[in-house]
Each structure stands twice: as structure tokens, then as C-alpha cells.
Amino acid sequence: MTQTVPARRADEDARLRRANRRTAMILFSISLVFFAGIIASKFLGGTTAGITVVGCGILLYLVMAIGRNLRSGK
């Protein structure tokens, strides 16, 4: 094979892998919230449970996002 040698440095590759994993985890957790949320809201009955699930999900993302920012600030 006569392709060029990859130019990315190892640390850049590791950074990219971390970023990929982070993006995937966020997307996966969104789908998990939708899956569990729809069942929980119907199981517990009414709209309150649904709003609670979505609200908790949003709060969790906010906490994670703020936490990440604070950590990277240090």
C-alpha cells in the first residue's frame, strides 16, 4: 500500500478519540432518556412524569456541562 503516513500526532489522536466518545455518550444518553422517559411517563401516568423525566434530563446535561467547564477552567 502506498498511502501516505498518517500525519496526526498520537496525542491529537487520543484527544480526538476522547471527543468522539464524549459526543457518542451524550447522544446515547439522549436516546436513553427518550426510551426510558416514554415508558416511565406512561407507567406513572399523566404528563407530570414525562415533564419530570425531560426536566431531570435537561438539568443533568446542564450540571455535566457546567461541571466540565469548571474542571477545564482549573
Contacting positions for another protein (CB under 8 A): 1-7, 16, 19-20, 23-24, 27-28, 30-32, 34-39, 42-43
Distances (CA, A) of 61 to 7, 30, 48, 54, 58: 35, 10, 20, 11, 5
Q: Quick one: 16 or 58, whose CB is closer to another protein?
A: 16
In 3D space, the residue among 59, 62, 64 whose CA is nearest the CA of residue 22 turns out to be: 64
How far apart are CB 1 and another protein at their closest, in Å?
A: 5
How far apart are CB 5 and another protein at their closest, in Å?
A: 8
How far apart are CB 27 and another protein at their closest, in Å?
A: 5
Distance CA 49, CA 43 (A): 9
